Amino acid sequence: METYVIARRNGWRTADELQEAARRSTIEGDRMTEDVRWIRSYVVAEADGSLGTVCVYQASSPEAIRRHAYAAALPVDEIVAVADTVVVRPDPAPVGA
């Protein structure tokens, strides 16, 4: 499997909608364990007040990511293969944690 970054812009109006999308994504990912593995997502505040995400996945192909997204009713604006990883510091704790 390769590592990919997926941009999902302006996908959700509320945190509850995003949580529901995460639930669907998890269910579909559990059905596709040979093709798709969700690693993490960063929720981004879009300029219009909606929420988007930048997600890190491992997958057998970009097409597998698109199949997963379609099955989970998730937007996919862009899929980019990760060439390398540079970690300067670990991810910070989420706000309120």
Q: What is the pLDDT of residues 15-73, one digit of tens each?
A: 999 999 999 999 999 999 899 999 999 999 999 999 999 999 999 999 999 999 999 99
Residue carrying structure tokens 């990511």: 65
Reference 37, options 47, 26, 45; nearest CA is 26
pLDDT given at position 84: 94
**Is the predicted pLDDT of residue 96 greater than 80, yes or no?**
no
